[in-house]
Structure 1
């Protein structure tokens, strides 16, 4: 009896490719993985894309909603640096790798594509020496999982030049076609009606990542009167675990709080300006749709969110405010005059054109299909 054909050999034999994407945990890891999945299916409608995730991650909601199969694996906690303990694969890591390898074998993976984080690390270790690996790093400062995965990856794609990771190829961040092809003016009326916003008022979009951000929530809701008095409508995603009570001002444009934005395309179309964190995905999407931004980088970590925001700031498409400086008074001083200055908004929107890589999804999809031999 002949040996089963694995990995690239299976695809080269003419069968439809099976791509496993590992990008669970936060929207910043999941959304690029799903954008890649969509691009793969456009290029190869016969392909099968399967996502890895954990039982507590946001992928449990996002992946099935986009129509892709989700396989759950145990998460691996990531130390801040490569240690001999990690390289010896302690029991928890070893168990997760074993279960992940079983998933890869069962689904017949032809390539594993990792986007970093605690789902990607066991995927890289399980695929090592058995299945081709492609790594995508969205941040200029690579995370530990991707540093490990890059050591034995067939290809390594990065979002920005100068990313210090082996074999880096600059492709940008894969974004959904609903974002990169968005015609904001054409959808504006529909979008504002969808969210219950004033159809004509200058409109501010506010969000702090998939879980929200308390500092942003407090500063913007604290400036609700100043925003209302200036005739500004607000759409504010405060996070599913947070609550936001905002005073209503009769006769003024509505301030609309929502836990989470399922339709980011419509949220972007409804807005004239955005106040948000500058995670890699948020910064890329805001620039892609041409929204003037006030970025408020997360104050923790290695400063990567400030790095993400800097190209748009340098281009004149965005402003940046330190998290500790964001207060209701700062919103009144900085944000209100911006949103109500139509000419300035127009110039900043034009400055965003050309930032980023709109075709990153299909560029990465072609790399992935090449890695598995199709």
Structure 2
């Protein structure tokens, strides 16, 4: 049973583990646990895995009426989760954090072995609780706050870890309608886009074109950008959403993006030089996620507050204009990646089942 619902950052590592388990043991069965509120209702069935639903138990960040209801909500979710674990005959529960993982950990405690994986640089509440009962704890990076964690990286899907950017480059450029040879920047701000990134990059469309730089910009399905195209120059291609991230990575020479844990892991694994713009909200974990790649020389970091068209003009454009710099950054980024994380975690999980 994999428990990683809510956001793609929790779901994708769970599905990457599921794929790795099935590669290692085709006779195995993997079932995902989720709620109606998360993206798992769309992502899990699309990957071919059964999905069992439980009530969501979000953790209130402030003292509200919801906080008073929390014990009762948790108790109900635990009861339903135990029924699911019994019905599917779970031999191990693997949690990836978030409000699906907490009921799973509490339901499995003392009954079924627990394995915890922490993707972020700073562990969340659910995984801190789960780690206390787990037989194995893994983390993406050191110093996550889980003292017993083995650092393995983040499980990634095979379409990313096996991506040959050079071999796919021509097909990827053609797929998006990009210039076949011009240096190309990939811009995205997560599945919903990022307004600050859009506002900093889109106004420079004509300048990118005049500099001979192509742009593939995923602006988010709820946002729009107006860009000026220059006839004969490399096109600026705005799209609402990137269904084929593998082709987007293959088409690009560098990326400007947020630094969520999954994004950092994927960008590093494929060796793309990056300019990370951490999300300014939360506990600062996005800056922590990207810092190891910055320290290694594979990325730059610009705060959301600093980001502007002028900053993009001064920092990003010169980077795209230097093939030597891009090559050095690419090698440095790839050196920080963990391409085998899914298989490592799968061996860990199967070993727990074997024991």
Question: Could you say whether these structures have the same fold, taking a TM-score greater than 0.5 normalized by the shorter chain as the test?
Answer: yes
1:299 is matched with: 280
**Where do 1:69-88 residues align within 5 Å?**
69-80=50-61
1:336-365 CA-to-partner distances (Å, cap 9, x unmatched) read: 111121111111112223213221111100
2:222 pairs with 1:253: no
1:34-84 CA-to-partner distances (Å, cap 9, x unmatched) read: 111110000000111111122231222211111111222211112459xxx
Q: What is the distance in 2 between the residues matched to 1:249 and 1:30?
A: 40
Q: What is the distance in 1 between the residues matched to 2:319 and 2:77?
A: 49
- 1:88 is displaced (CA, Å) by 10
Question: 142-151 or 66-75: which moved more?
Answer: 66-75
CA contact (8 A) 1:23 1:53 kept: yes
Look up the SS of the partner of 1:323 in the other structure: coil
Q: What is the distance in 1 between the residues matched to 2:82 and 2:125?
A: 20
4+ residue runs over 3 A deviation = 85-89
1:348 is matched with: 329
Look up the SS of the partner of 1:136 in the other structure: strand
2:120 is matched with: 139
**Where do 1:72-151 residues align within 5 Å?**
72-80=53-61, 90-151=71-132
1:161 is matched with: 142
Query: Of 22, 40, 43, which aligns to 1:62?
Result: 43
2:347 is matched with: 366
Q: What is the distance in 2 between the residues matched to 1:233 and 1:60?
A: 35
Gaps of 5+ in 2: none
Gaps of 5+ in 1: 1-19
1:127-148 CA-to-partner distances (Å, cap 9, x unmatched) read: 1112111100011210000001
2:23 pairs with 1:48: no
2:289 pairs with 1:269: no
2:220 is matched with: 239
CA contact (8 A) 1:31 1:175 kept: yes
Q: What is the distance in 1 between the residues matched to 2:322 and 2:229?
A: 24
Query: Of 17, 37, 48, which aligns to 1:36?
Result: 17
CA contact (8 A) 1:201 1:232 kept: yes
- 1:290 is displaced (CA, Å) by 0.7
2:266 is matched with: 285
Decide whether aligned partners of structure 1 residues 213 and 88 sit closer, same or farther in structure 2, where only a CA change above 3 A counts.
closer
CA contact (8 A) 1:23 1:114 kept: yes
Q: What is the distance in 2 between the residues matched to 1:370 and 1:87?
A: 40
CA contact (8 A) 1:192 1:199 kept: yes
1:212-257 CA-to-partner distances (Å, cap 9, x unmatched) read: 2111111111221221221211111222333333233322222222
2:201 pairs with 1:201: no
2:205 pairs with 1:216: no
CA contact (8 A) 1:297 1:323 kept: yes
Question: 245-254 or 363-372: which moved more?
Answer: 245-254
CA contact (8 A) 2:37 2:56 kept: no
CA contact (8 A) 1:121 1:148 kept: yes
* Count of aligned positions: 353
Under a length normalisation based on structure 1, what TM-score does the superposition of the two structures give?
0.90
Q: What is the distance in 2 between the residues matched to 1:171 and 1:267?
A: 26
